[in-house]
Amino acid sequence: MYHHPVDVDQYWIPPPLSTIKPYVINTSDIALHIMNQNVTEDLMLMAFNVSLVALAKVPDDLVFDSSHSGLRLLKDQPRAAEYLGLAIIRNIEKIDALTTRLYIITPEPVDVLDQVNVLLKGNIQLSQSYFTQDPRGKHPYFSYDYDFC
């Protein structure tokens, strides 16, 4: 039998998540909800940062605009939702008191994202190493200073 060395470059090494171009969504355009947990509005963005979320569509009467935080939230646990895919919230950027942007990574196309009206967070946690470990030795600047309040 013939054996030959394998060149490592022949294998597909996926790019680090920090190098994938994200979609940008304003929190004024989408509701946020954490399943089976009571999280205050002040901590909602911190809980969503660097997390796996379900892209879903719920009836519009379940969504309300919070006067306290300026976020769109759900009135109650959704009894039924149309799940459209999964995404990772890579970063959250607070522009001003009324504007916050979510940077999400998902394989779903834009026409699917246009149907999404809520991001649902469950109990799955992502490791920071998904974003900071890069086999090529390159990664962008990371900040662990959360100032969403």
- The string of pLDDT tens digits covering residues 91-111 is 899 888 778 999 999 999 999
The Cα 107–Cα 141 span in angstroms is: 24
Strand partners for 82:
57
Other CB atoms within 10 Å distance of the CB of residue 102: 24
Other CB atoms within 10 Å distance of the CB of residue 74: 19
Per-residue DSSP letter, 49: T
Q: Are 35 and 120 in contact (CB under 8 A)?
A: yes
Q: Are 122 and 54 in contact (CB under 8 A)?
A: yes
User: pLDDT at residue 131 above 70?
Assistant: no
Mean pLDDT comparison of 9-13, 49-53, 130-134, highest-scoring range? 49-53
Other CB atoms within 10 Å distance of the CB of residue 52: 14
- The string of pLDDT tens digits covering residues 60-75 is 888 888 777 778 888 8
Q: State the pLDDT confidence band at 135, using cuts at 50, 70 and 90.
A: low
User: pLDDT at residue 118 above 80?
Assistant: yes
User: pLDDT at residue 8 above 70?
Assistant: no
Q: Write down the pLDDT at residue 50.
A: 87
- Higher pLDDT: 117 or 12? It is 117
Q: Write down the pLDDT at residue 1.
A: 55
Across 50-64, average pLDDT: 91
